[in-house]
Amino acid sequence: MKRVFLGLGSNVGDKMAYLQKALALVAERVGAIEKVSSFYATKAWGKTNEDDFYNAAVEMQTNLTAFEVLKTVQKIETELDRVRKEKWGARTVDIDVLFYESDVIATEELKVPHPFITDRRFVLVPLAEIAEQLIHPIKKKSVQKLLEQCTDNLSVEKITQTN
């Protein structure tokens, strides 16, 4: 089994429902989810005139290769109505492979660790919640240390659900 971390986001429609559906499909098709962060609300990053995002991070175990994980989560995105029109555009669901073991992969198709982890609080905050001591294999720093050093000032607020 391989340990993989995924980042999930949504800023279209019922964001919470899209994330919950994505989590269910990831558990069904990628592997056993061990930890799920809280959900966080953030302003759009990159293309800032979009609706706010809900974001989360997941730690899981898989028998899939990193490339199989990528293909599987891309298929899940498509099934959940993701349409790729423009970079950083609105999306029903976005699932990124953040880490795969301590592997470093740099192909056109897949870059692991995800190249923007260190620049994005909306990734680091949920990731630190579930894996603060995880070491970035290139930066050689923990997720918590990367969060402390992150210069992104985007607000990342934990969503509290009331029933």
Residues annotated as part of the active site:
82, 91, 94, 96
Name the nearest CA neighbour of 28 among 81, 73, 71. 73
Gap between the Cα atoms of 99 and 6, Å rounded: 7
Q: Are 40 and 156 in contact (CB under 8 A)?
A: yes
Q: Are 33 and 58 in contact (CB under 8 A)?
A: yes
Q: Which residues contact 102 (CB under 8 A, 6 or more apart)?
A: 135, 137
E strand segments, 37-137: 40-42, 53-62, 94-100, 105-106, 111-112
**Span between the terminal Cα atoms of the chain, in Å:** 36
Gap between the Cα atoms of 76 and 96, Å rounded: 12
